Structures are given as structure tokens and as C-alpha cells.
Amino acid sequence: RTEFSQIFADIAAFDGREVTVCGWVRTSRNSKNFGFLELNDGSYFKNAQIVIEQGVLANYDEIAKLNVGSAVCVTGTLVATPQAKQPFEIKAATVEVEGASTPDYPLQKKRHSLEFLREIAHLRPRTNTYSAVFRVRSAAAAAIHEFFQKDGFVYVNTPLITGSDCEGAGEMFRVTTLDLENPPRNEKGEVDYTQDFFGKSANLTVSGQLNAECYALAFSKVYTFGPTFRAENSNTARHAAEFWMIEPEIAFADLADDMDLAQRMIKYVIRSVMERCPEDLKFFNEFVDKGLLERLRFLVDSDFGQVSYTEAVRLLEEHKDEFEYPVYWGCDLQSEHERYLTEKIFQKPVFVTDYPKEIKAFYMRLNDDGKTVAATDLLVPGVGELIGGSQREERYDVLVSRMRECGLNEADYHWYLDLRKYGGAKHAGFGLGFERLIMYITGMGNIRDVIPFPRTVKNAEF
Ligand code: 4AD
Ligand code: MG
């Protein structure tokens, strides 16, 4: 069997040759003696055109009647047709039906709305849009590994079940082994969830960072790439309850090194996807987000912007009438503020740095002003926050006092504190939301459309 990606890569090489291809019927047009099937096998954006003929095919009538969605294998001669709309056709000598489809196949030739397609998540990968999205997602994942591996980073798998809350935002899904019919209770009569995991408290991880830090302080350069979970009740186009995060962590490095790494990585991944998936990106450019390709090309060759939180707030205050939420020093920037900064003021990706410590996590390094921390968020047009990162607090005493301020129990984090006791070193890292990166690269506007089976508020079907 020859895959479509192989044929489209070098049509001339297949010209005049016999090939066998398999795929699903996208369209079928025919008359009594003659017809065309368009097939797609998912390996490439474009369809292959199959010519079927009465008298050549013993089962012509059966094939001509096939419903859209059927799976078939075709053997025949490939003929290049460089002048035609279809760059080649395959004159079928045999067509075998692997599995016919019934007439109620939900994907008919007309254009379906993304909302409708979300309801048939099991079949939507057979459409142009989703097939392109998920090839890009796969290519981007490969490029991410390639970027880090080439640079000597060690890939670390951090646990999904954990007792710590890295972000301290209390957005964790509880994991429990308790008998909820008859749970253990504390003196006040409340369910004692500290007994969750065979006697310890446990939840699904919101970030692998704290574990990655341990490995960075042994391997110098590490990254994670895996699922993370947030039980936040945000029903937006950018939040999912289960999403993938890439978290590099580098030792002997500060915030500037961290931002440099983030910028190099994003550019590498975009360049790589542009090379691997040109047809898919052309499709997004035409049907999803006009100007996408121009933006991506500009992006890989230009520098991202950088602005301190303090300066960003000053810039936003000049436009305060345009916002629903107030903007002032100390506020947690709302997505309308973030988007204004990156889309209107900078018109490119921008790193916002040095946030007030009150709105950031306990592990971020306190700046000399005692008010801000060495943190950065990367904001990008169309998506908003793509990355959250920081230099980590490596000073034992400062870290302990920040943990106390944040109400954390030192005993629970003894291992994390040990890292500062035994050869602690300056280090930094960031977390990049993989789905948001895919939204950015494809121009897709909803996170539900870049996850095969999205887990968002009220949605755990399939
Ligand atoms: O900014 P966050 O919460 O940072 C951390 O978790 C750090 N521990 C990362 C680190 O320094 N190693 O999350 C990082 C990124 C966000 O910028 C966003 O892109 C993505 O993860 N993200 C989400 N993506 C989809 N759905 C959600 N609910 C997300 N929450 C965060
Ligand atoms: Mg964040």
C-alpha cells in the first residue's frame, strides 16, 4: 500500500506505475458507465482521485453505489495530470470494499459548523479541518522533542498523581481511594481527605515543575511534555480541564536565559511545522485565518517584545476606558488587557516581566525591590497567554518566608527545600500550553478544536 503523502511528495516518480492505495471515500460522482471517487487516507491534506469504469471493474455497480465514508482499497495505474485541477488520477483495475458506510454518514459534502463537528468527535478527524489540525499537532510535538533533544536536554516524566499544588491556586482534581459511601472523618465530622491516597492526600498534577526542578538540579537541562489537569470552572475558548504542557527547566540560568530559550523554541517549532505541513497551513491560511502564513513567516524572523508589568500597566492605563475590568498596579491582568497589549500596542508576541509577588506563585524569585518577582508571561496575538515562567527562588530563607506568606506547609515541601540546601543553584523554567501553541500556529479559535477529545467544563463524552 502506498500512502498519499508518499505520492504527493513525488508524483512524477509514480507516473505510469501501478499503485495500491487505501482510504475513506470523501466524494463519489458517477454515471452508468463511468465515475470518480475521491479518497483520503489521512497521511496528507489532499485527496486522490480514482477513476472507475464499467467493463474494467467487475464490481462497478457496487462501487458506484458506495456511500460517502466507506473504506476501500484501490489498485490501478497512476497517471499524472499536471494541467488538471487534480495533479493525478488512479485508473482503478480493482476496488475492494473494506467496509461500506450507511447513507446516514454524518459527514456529507456540505460544509459543517465546528460546533456540529464537536458533537461527533469520533468522526471529525475525517474532515479537512481536523485532519489538518491533528497532523499539525503531531508535527509540532515531534518538533518540540527534536528541539530539546538536539540541544542536549533530558526528557523527564513527572508524576500525574501528586500531593503538591504547584500553582497554589487550589484548582486540583482530587484522586481518592476512599470508600466515599463510608469515608473517614475528622473530629469535626468532615470527610478526611488527607487519607485519599492509601493514607495520604493526592490530586492530579497542575504542573510538573517542582519535580522538573529536582531533575534540573542534577541534569542541568531538562524538559517535561505531558498532560496536566486544572479543575477551574472556566468555560472559555482557551481553557481545558486536561491539557498538555511543555516545561523546560534550566540550571545556572536566569530569567533572561529563560525568555531566550522560550523564543528559540517557539520559532523552531513554527519553522518545522511550516516545513512539514505546508498544505495544512495553506488551508488554514485560506479558510480559517487569512494572513496566518504571512504572520508566521514574520514571526520566525523577528524579535519578540518585552515589557515590565509596571510599564505594561502604565501603557494600559492610557486606554482604561476600553476595558471592562479596571487596570491598576497590583491587578492580575485580565485576558482583555493581555490581548490589548499584544494585539494593539505591540502587535507581536511580548514577554511581560516582573509581576507583583501577590499575584504569582510562591516559588518565583523575589526581586531586589521586595515587591515584584522574576516572572514572565508570554502573550501572543489571538491567543493571549501562551507561556508562564520564572526564575526560581534559590535562597532557602527567602523561599521559606514566601511559603509562609502563601500559607504552605513547609513539611509537605521538605524535598523541594532540600534542593536549596544541597547545592542549590540559580535556575529558571517555563510552562508552555501545548494546545494554545497549536491554536496559535493554525489560527483555530477554540481549544476544543485542537484536542482530539477535549475535556472542558461539562464535556467528558467520547
Ligand atoms: O501559567 P501556568 O499556570 O504556569 C505553570 O503551571 C508553571 N508551573 C509553569 C512553569 O514555570 N514550569 O501554566 C502554563 C501555561 C499557560 O501559560 C497556558 O499556556 C497553559 O499552561 N494553561 C492552560 N492551557 C489550557 N487550559 C488551561 N486550563 C490552562 N492553564 C494553563
Ligand atoms: Mg499563567
Give the distance (Å) from ligand 1 centre to CA of residue 314. Answer: 25
Query: How buried is residue 209: exposed, middle or buried, by Cβ count under 10 Å (0-12/13-18/19+)?
Result: buried
CA of 211 relative to ligand 2 center, distance in Å: 18
User: Which residues face 35 on adjacent strands?
Assistant: 30, 52
pLDDT attached to residue 12: 97
Ligand that lies nearest to the alpha carbon of residue 208, given by its number in the listed order: 1
Residue 417 pLDDT = 97
Hey, how many other C-beta atoms are within 10 angstroms of the C-beta on 435?
23
pLDDT at residue 80 in the model = 98
Among the bound ligands, name the one nearest to the CA of residue 332. Answer: 2
> Which residue minimizes the CA distance to atom 25 of ligand 1?
239
Q: What is the pLDDT of residue 265?
A: 98
CB atoms closer than 10 angstroms to residue 123: 14
Task: For residue 389, give the ligand 1 atom closest to its CA.
Answer: 11
Q: How far is the CA of 362 from the centre of ligand 1 (A)?
A: 15
Question: How far apart are the CA of 389 and the centre of ligand 1, in A?
Answer: 9
377 Cα to the center of ligand 1, angstroms = 10
Task: For residue 417, report the distance from its CA to the centre of ligand 1, in Å.
Answer: 23
Residues 6 or more apart from 108 whose CB is under 8 A from it? 68
| Closest to 16 measured CA to CA, from 80, 70, 65 | 80
Atom number, ligand 1, closest to the C-alpha of residue 387: 17
Instruction: Classify strands 71-80 and 88-99 as parallel, antiparallel or unpaired.
Output: antiparallel
- Which residues neighbour 85 within 8 Å (Cβ) at sequence distance 6 or greater? none
Q: What pLDDT is attached to residue 191?
A: 84
Q: Could you state, in chain order, the average pLDDT of each consecutive group of 10 residues for the chain (462 residues)?
A: 97 98 97 96 97 97 97 98 95 98 92 94 97 98 98 98 87 88 88 81 94 98 98 90 98 98 98 98 97 96 97 97 96 96 97 97 97 98 97 97 93 95 97 98 98 88 82
**Atom 24, ligand 1: residue with shortest CA distance:** 433
- 3, HSE (Cβ side, Cα atoms, 13 Å): 8
Query: How many percent of the chain have pLDDT more than 90?
Result: 89
Q: Could you tell me the distance, in angstroms and rounded to a whole number, from the CA of residue 385 to the centre of ligand 2? A: 7
| Neighbouring residues of the ion ligand 2, judged by CB less than 5 Å | 388
**Counting atoms of ligand 1 from 1, which one is nearest the CA of 245?**
21
- Residues framing ligand 1 (Cβ under 6 A): 166-167, 207, 209, 230, 232, 239-240, 243, 245, 247, 385-390, 429-431, 433, 435-436
Task: Give residue-wise pLDDT tens across range 124-135.
Answer: 999 999 999 999
